[in-house]
Chains A and B, each alone.
Chain A
């Protein structure tokens, strides 16, 4: 289970709505023992076709995660948006996922946040398994 404060849920949704019709992406950080998100960090989507996909290069991601870790946060995973598309993971999402992380996807329908789901890569990499999100507060 992934715990997300309602205030941070609202921030993810706002980021995604503001970025519509493009995909937005960010880091979920917090306490790995409690699997609780406590801080977000938005990232720049470096792809050209940002309405369908996202990409963040190694060094940009490394700088952002190192900064969070130096502040004492654990990297719990990443969030990204699916403009006018369900919050179901795609094959492209699965192919590029790493284990032991939460991949939160928020569906944005006509510029408004709809569903939010979290996924974790299966051990054999063949699928992603939905992880329950509990919203706090």
Chain B
């Protein structure tokens, strides 16, 4: 099964696990499975419209899925995905 690595600040919402086995043939399906397993992650990974938040970056190996097929990117059974947050902010 593919796996997905959870960033440290979000691990309390995933039973404190760093890597979770997920099922799905695409990134979209994998995310759906992840959020089915751990629904408390959803508010931090997705905005109110259900879109992955801009600072939530999903990598398949070394590739940002945005440079592949986005959430339609196909996932193989031995693939390792990583959620890597970027950071942003500012005075306004």
Contact = CB atoms under 8 A, between A and B. Distances in A.
Contact of B91 (A23, A57, A97): A23
Interface SS of B by simple majority: mixed
A101 B86 contact: no
Contacts of A57: 86
A96 B55 CA distance: 7
A55 B86 contact: yes
Contacts, number: 82
B33 to A, nearest CB: 22
A92 B89 contact: yes
Interface string B25-67: 0000000000000000001100000000011010100001000
Contacts of B88: 47, 53-56, 92, 96
Interface of A: 23, 25, 47, 52-59, 61-62, 75, 78, 80, 82-83, 85, 89-90, 92-93, 96-101, 103, 124-125
